[in-house]
Amino acid sequence: MNADCSGSEREANWRTKARRGAFRAVLVSAVMAAVFSAVTACGDEKDQQPTDAAVVQTRSGPVRGTVTADERAFSGIPYAAPPVGELRWKPPAAPAVWSAERDATKPGAECLQPEDAGRLTGSEDCLFLNVWTPSGAADRKRPVLVWIHGGAFTTGSGSLYNPARLVRTGDMVVVTINYRLGALGFLGHPAVAHEDGQVGNFGLLDQQAALRWVRDNIAAFGGDPAKVTIAGESAGAMSVCDHLVSPASDRLFHGAILQSGPCEMQTDRQTAVAKSEEYSATIGCPDADAAAVARCLRAVPAEQVAATPLHFTGEAGVGLPSPSYGQPLLPDDPMVAFRDGKAAKVPVLIGVNRDEYTYFVAGQTITAQQYPDLLKMFGPQADAVTAQYPLDRYAQPELAWSAVMTDHVFACPIADNTKSLTRTGPVYAYEFADPDAAPLPGLPSPPPFPLGAAHGFELPYLFDLDRTPSPATSAQQALSDKMIRYWSAFVHTGDPNANGLPHWPRHTGDQSLVLHPDTATTTNIHETHHCALWTQIPTP
């Protein structure tokens, strides 16, 4: 039944119908219900929001999440079509549309990846994201943090990171995403090149598709699409480096957070193609005409592809499937682009952990006799490295080697990026330095030596992670609270400073804020990590 929004007309119609007798009472009730609906439709857009806070209408269809007193959570929302069959090794396609409410109370599958003891977990059908909002978040638009997980581009998922504390304390919307990993995410074989001739980087394309989904849908969850910060740790931070210089990511975000990102570990297109062609042969798809290789690659069982993930670039014997530059999606090496002032003009929060490399050495044994042999990888500079990191300065050879690689692979390249990014926007730098941070799962317990502030150890100070203890002491809990408030202020304003927090100076020289349970100070990363030496030695 149609009705206009004229109150006098509605009232006249109702009185006329009412006089027709009691036997028309049911019809009168129906008319009144229709009139009430029409009045509602003529109200403000705010009044049209569904009364059920657990249901949100996305552009693809309605989703039903979980509501608590503090937050709403919507999990396993597809942001792209399943990249399977003919869509394997193709840019992400639009997701299907649905009309019935979709269950969004549990995460979608993580992307196919190796697990312990050579087992595999996950699925090719994995392009899902999760949205967390404060309770009642649709009443006004809040800033948005999009989290890109780490894991060397071979492991991880968005659902591993519970952002409840960031959501509650920071009064923000948080989105965590999956993206294709390993060979499925980064194979650069020309036989499965994109339509415009680009190769590989399917995982980065997935991330951009997720950012477009946020742009188009996040307002329905109470998020502000004009105030989106992208953030990541390790490979996630490397991804943020790429988005800072990718033309296709332009205007999809308005701030960036990079935690422990070795962004020098990207590769060029030529290397990606060569390594991908070698890899193709190892899984039974040797050189032939492009169409035949493409058919072969798409027919290989997913388990066989994921069991031997492609490694593009390596250092010190450790490789990972890096994104590749030198093509339209990623025209330049991000490190070079930063130095040339080609990064997106957005505020940046960037940092390093004081003892990054202990995470990678914790399962190894290095003897005093082996240490000089390891340093030979630096060629003519080996003596200079030995002089700067003498074995007798450290309690164990493993700690000496960790100090070398922390500075060489993490601290000094990140210091370089920090300085370069000041050319295009405000930068706030930190060093996470809790010497007693709890180890992440998968490391020896107890550890063979003090791990300090190792790679990834800052994550529990921001997120609730499965099987990972939260900060234990009152000082650590206070540091966690400060970090969440700093990160939240940055997402809101592009500046981490807020009332009641120690001042975080903008990075204009070499000073970085030290995040330590017992002190509030700054440090010169370039000096404390011997970067004058490492600027003379290229990263392997």
* 190-203 pLDDT per residue, tens: 999 998 899 999 99
pLDDT reported for residue 293: 96
Place of tokens 């500075």: 407
pLDDT of 37 over the 80 cut: no
pLDDT at 22 over 90: no
Instruction: Kindly state the tokens that stand for 186.
Output: 């980064």
pTM above 0.85, yes or no: yes
* pLDDT grade for 303, boundaries at 50, 70 and 90: confident
How many percent of the chain have pLDDT more than 70? 87
Query: Is a pLDDT exceeding 70 seen at residue 312?
Result: no
- Per-residue pLDDT, 313: 56
Q: Name the residue with tokens 């998020």.
A: 223
Neighbour tally for 483: CB within 10 Å: 21
What pLDDT digit, counting tens, does each position of 369-428 carry? 999 999 999 999 999 999 999 999 999 999 999 999 999 999 999 999 999 999 999 999
Q: What's the confidence (pLDDT) of residue 117?
A: 62
Catalytic site residue 455? yes
Average pLDDT over residues 133-158: 91
pLDDT of residue 540: 55
Amino acid found at 224: D
- Dihedral sign computed on CA atoms, order 249, 250, 255, 261: positive
* 16-30, 235-249, 304-318, 513-527: segment of lowest average pLDDT: 16-30
Residue 136: HSE in the Cβ half-sphere, 13 Å Cα cutoff? 3
Q: Which of 60, 75, 234, 324 is catalytic?
A: 234
The tens digit of pLDDT for each residue in 162-178 reads 999 999 999 999 999 99
Contact present, 514 and 482 (Cβ < 8 Å): no
Selected catalytic residue, list 408, 455, 507, 530: 455
**What pLDDT shows up at residue 12?**
39
Pairing label, strands 313-315, 267-268: unpaired
Tell me, yes or no, if 526 is annotated catalytic.
no
Percentage of the chain exceeding pLDDT 90: 76
What number is the average pLDDT over the span 9-19? 39
Least confident of 13-22, 102-111, 372-381, 451-460: 13-22
Neighbour tally for 386: CB within 10 Å: 16
Q: Flag whether pLDDT at 5 surpasses 80.
A: no
Angle at the Cα of 210 from the Cα atoms of 97 and 191, rounded to 5 degrees:
90
Q: Across 2-16, 158-172, 268-282, which has the greatest mean pLDDT? A: 158-172
Active-site pick, 356, 398, 431, 458: 356
Instruction: Kindly list the domain boundaries of the chain, sorted by start residue.
Output: 7-48, 61-356+423-525
**pLDDT-based confidence at residue 46 (cuts at 50, 70, 90):** very low
Residue-level pLDDT at 140: 82
Alpha-carbon distance 333 to 269, whole Å? Answer: 10
Tokens found for residue 409? 């692979």
Mean of pLDDT values over 227-248: 98
Report whether pLDDT(39) > 90: no
**Is 115 a known active-site residue?**
no
User: Average per-residue pLDDT in the chain?
Assistant: 88
pLDDT of 434 > 80? The answer is yes
Instruction: Quickly name the fold that domain 61-356+423-525 has.
Output: Rossmann fold (3.40.50)
pLDDT band at 157 (very low <50, low <70, confident <90, very high): very high
pLDDT of residue 19: 38
User: pLDDT at residue 34 above 70?
Assistant: no
Question: Which residues have CB under 8 Å from 456's CB, separation 6+?
Answer: 150, 233, 234, 260, 353, 359, 440
